[in-house]
Amino acid sequence: MAAIPSSACRAVLAVLALGAAALVPGRADADIYTYTDAQGNVHVASKPGPSSGGKLDKISSTTSSKPKRGTALLPVMPSDKSPERLGRYDSHIREASRLYRIPEELVRAVIKCESDFDPRAVSPTGAQGLMQLMPPTALRMQVRDSFDPRENILGGTRYLRVLANMFSGNLELTVAGYNAGENAVMRYQGIPPYEETQGYVACVVGHYRTFKAAKLVAAAAH
């Protein structure tokens, strides 16, 4: 089993935790509930409760966003390889980052590792679009068209928000949950011992740190 990240790594995404972190249910088949409040923030709980006027959604923790093993890291048959694609979705990334309080660099890193910024990408297992949403995950995140770049980015970032709340802002566990599903991370109490998931975490975290470093360099230059 992969080791839980150090406190230094956990601090990188401390900003991801909104208030007190929701408790992870002890049962592997427990239900998870989320609701979006009037400010657009997503909250996670192990049982239904007052939604403060927001919409209450039930999420089964047994549903994974991705297959656990045996799939390629990158989707098949990418069609968009133009250099311009790397900045084409900046406005959507910024919007999703502000709405769900996830760093822009993390959203960008997930897109890079999932689809290499190709909005028409489809994986061998049916994951779709920029952030490679599986149809059940897209439905959970209220995405109507996974091939619409804005909808896909908002839906994928919302799922990152749910996972970040669930795993107390832990960067590596949040990323592992995005690939293997939250249930697998809870079952193994860490990064699941799947070759694909471990490679995926390394890909996303590596690009995330690269994008953050580039942002700091650009800021210093100004």
Query: What is the C-alpha to C-alpha distance for residues 65 and 182, in angstroms, rounded to an integer?
Result: 8
Asked if residue 110 lies in contact with residue 93, where contact means CB atoms within 8 angstroms, the answer is no
Phi and psi, residue 131, nearest 5°: -105, 15
Which of 114, 151, 172, 182 is flagged as catalytic? 114
With tokens 């927001």, the residue in question is 54
Phi and psi, residue 68, nearest 5°: -80, -30
SS3 61: coil
Is there a catalytic annotation at residue 84? Answer: no
Beta-bridged to residue 116, according to DSSP, are: none
Beta-bridged to residue 45, according to DSSP, are: 33
Structure tokens at 78: 């990418």
What is the layout of strands, in order, in the sheet containing 42-45?
Answer: 42-45, 31-36, 55-60
With both helix axes pointing from N to C terminus, report the angle between 195-221 and 104-115 in degrees, rounded to the nearest 10. Answer: 130
Which is it for strands 55-60 and 42-45: parallel, antiparallel or unpaired? unpaired
Asked if residue 37 lies in contact with residue 52, where contact means CB atoms within 8 angstroms, the answer is yes
- Residues labelled as active-site residues: 114
